[in-house]
Amino acid sequence: MSSRSRPELTQTARSAPTRKLIAACAAIAMLAGACGSGDDEQADASTTVTSAAETETETVTETTEREVNEEVAEEGDIEPETTTTTEAPAETTTTAAPDLGGPSEFGPAEGQPLAVISVRYDDELNFRAGPGTDEDIVRRVAPLDDTVITAAGEAWAFERSVWWKVTIDGEEMWANQRFLGMLGSTTNLFDLIAGELDTLEYDSLQDLTAAIADARSGEDPAPDFEYATEPLAFDSGDAFVVVDFTGFLDDASNGERMRIEAEVIVGDDADEVGVPIGVRLTDVEIVPFCSRGVFEGGCI
- Residues 113 and 216 reside in one and the same domain: no
- Residues 276 and 242 reside in one and the same domain: yes
CATH number, position 162: 2.30.30.40
pLDDT 10s digits, 229-270: 999 988 778 999 999 999 888 889 989 999 999 999 988 775
- Does 67 fall in a domain? no
- Residues 193 and 269 reside in one and the same domain: yes
- Residues 228 and 148 reside in one and the same domain: no
- Residues 132 and 175 reside in one and the same domain: yes
Q: Round the CA-based radius of gyration of the chain to a whole number and report it.
A: 53
- 151, 182, 213 — which closes off a domain? 182
- Does 167 fall in a domain? yes
Q: Taking the chain (300 residues) in consecutive chunks of 10 residues, what is each chunk's mean pLDDT?
A: 40 43 43 40 37 38 40 39 52 69 92 97 98 97 97 96 97 97 97 96 95 85 92 88 91 94 86 81 97 90
CA pair distance 38, 41, nearest whole angstrom: 5
- Residues 199 and 241 reside in one and the same domain: yes
- 149, 182, 215 — which closes off a domain? 182
Q: 3-state secondary structure string, 158-194?
A: CCCCEEEEEEECCEEEEEEHHHEEEECCCEECHHHHH
- Does 32 fall in a domain? no
- Residues 234 and 169 reside in one and the same domain: no
- Does 10 fall in a domain? no
In this prediction, residue 271 carries a pLDDT of 67
Distances (CA, A) of 226 to 14, 98, 297: 127, 32, 23
- Does 22 fall in a domain? no
Total domains present in the chain: 2
- Residues 215 and 279 reside in one and the same domain: yes
Determine whether 122 is exposed, middle or buried from the number of CB atoms within 10 Å of its CB (0-12, 13-18, 19+). Answer: exposed
- 127, 158, 182 — which closes off a domain? 182
- Residues 284 and 196 reside in one and the same domain: yes
Give yes or no for a contact between 126 and 148, defined as CB atoms under 8 angstroms apart: no
- Residues 229 and 292 reside in one and the same domain: yes
- State which residues form the domain around 233: 187-299
In this prediction, residue 74 carries a pLDDT of 39
- Does 263 fall in a domain? yes
- Residues 177 and 272 reside in one and the same domain: no
In this prediction, residue 91 carries a pLDDT of 64
The predicted model scores a pTM of 0.65
- Does 177 fall in a domain? yes
- Does 197 fall in a domain? yes
